[in-house]
Structure 1
């Protein structure tokens, strides 16, 4: 399903996701789950580090020339070359509280842009993936299908997902957040990876985050854009490392940016 240049990379991303799912599902709701806090006060579990270490081991053996940047072990992505960007468990707070909405996020970035994305949420029974030029795909209990964004063309008809109000107050603008939500038809806070995947599926029309790290959205960017949508930071730049994220069906993107820009 992918272009020849990325077929083997997507196959590898699939195997990495399979390995991650085996670790995370075994540790979910484990009574001996070890939890620590990072300097930014966000939690990290032994499952987070185990997944990233397993992914790095495979990449070291199969793609020794590629860089790796992960949430737990660090690393950087250069403006040129290839780098794998990994979030071992996106939604760690859900994971440690027993909420099944979390996923492993894997992206291949080439010359600064994501070209392969894989998001696997085993407790939801869902997986989403994409490769440059070959569309976005998803799999659930009903089978595998190609993804396409919605055709909603007005914010007043848009179904939107954002993050909690406190984040917008601290990192962006409470007033802009409220103006944006008030302009839309309906709002929810699915959060993290899931809201961007729902945009790619056409179930949502907009997903907005005022603060993100590169590993949070690198895979989401290629999946949303390959589904026909648009992905930028809140400044309107089409980048995954701008510190914020806005994914839409494309038709309502400019209107959303106008309301969210400070």
Structure 2
């Protein structure tokens, strides 16, 4: 992991805040617009992208070009831009574009900065709700309509008392879905459809588990930074830290993580 000075740390945090502010403005320009349409990025399933996704990433990249020109960028809509600093900004301009299209408020903007080990700092920003979850570089805090407070995951509890969230009821392959059903059958409550907000709720101590499959680096790196800063754990289904995505299990504690891993394995 790169060793950062206090000034370097402050610069990264300030840059992320400017990115999030620009993203809020760009995404809210089009949210709940009755004329909003979407293209699909895949031919075999609806994977939407809107003018708001593209505008948001364009504006964040313009800020990085001005403030951090030596850093690399990985964005969902515009791919990879190389850098030479050893740091990479990982951007998901709208995580939950389907929710965005429907007018539901739980979509968010994911911003993180990573070194060779993975994410070191991240934001989960909810533009319409007005909440921002921040984790890494010595910080773990949420700010929003209820004020500001420190983030902390829930205390350990039995799997039978856990709350589990995932974006889709259909979890990846048939094998992955069967494993998820084993886990879901052992928890108290399973809920769907919150996109990145589920990870924010885990960091805030509201739920115990988020389990998904088929994710990309821009889906997982900001949530990983926030959840780890709040005291949680986020790995693949084999227990390895997974900044590249794939199968994901985020848990409120090592004990909850171990119990959920056992249930997934059957």
Normalised by the size of structure 1, how large is the TM-score?
0.92
Q: 1 CA distance for matches of 2:29 and 2:245?
A: 34
Contact 1:171 1:211 in 2 (8 A): no
Contact 2:135 2:228 in 1 (8 A): no
State the shift of 1:215 in Å. 0.4
Q: 1 CA distance for matches of 2:5 and 2:205?
A: 24
The answer for unaligned runs of 5 or more in structure 2 is none
Structure 1 residues 168-183: aligned runs within 5 Å: 168=172, 170=173, 172-183=175-186
Q: 2 CA distance for matches of 1:155 and 1:50?
A: 42
- Given the alignment, which residue of 11, 16, 33 partners 1:13? 16
State the shift of 1:97 in Å. 1.5
Structure 1 residues 127-206: aligned runs within 5 Å: 127-132=132-137, 134-168=138-172, 170=173, 172-206=175-209
Q: Secondary structure at the match of 1:164?
A: coil
Deviation track 1:21-60 (CA, whole Å, cap 9, x = no partner) reads 0111111022332421113640000000000011111101
- Given the alignment, which residue of 97, 102, 110 partners 2:107? 102
How many residue pairs get aligned? The number is 258
Contact 1:6 1:131 in 2 (8 A): no
- Given the alignment, which residue of 63, 66, 73 partners 1:61? 66
Q: 2 CA distance for matches of 1:123 and 1:3?
A: 34
- Given the alignment, which residue of 1, 4, 25 partners 2:28? 25
State the shift of 1:166 in Å. 1.9
The answer for unaligned runs of 5 or more in structure 1 is none
State the shift of 1:95 in Å. 0.6
Structure 1 consecutive aligned stretches of length 4 or more whose deviation exceeds 3 Å: none
Cα 1:127–1:69 shift into 2, 3 Å: same
Contact 2:219 2:245 in 1 (8 A): no
The match for 1:246 is 249
Structure 1 residues 30-109: aligned runs within 5 Å: 30-39=33-42, 41-75=46-80, 81-109=86-114
State the shift of 1:260 in Å. 1.7
- Given the alignment, which residue of 204, 208, 214 partners 1:211? 214
Normalised by the size of structure 2, how large is the TM-score?
0.91
State the shift of 1:100 in Å. 1.5
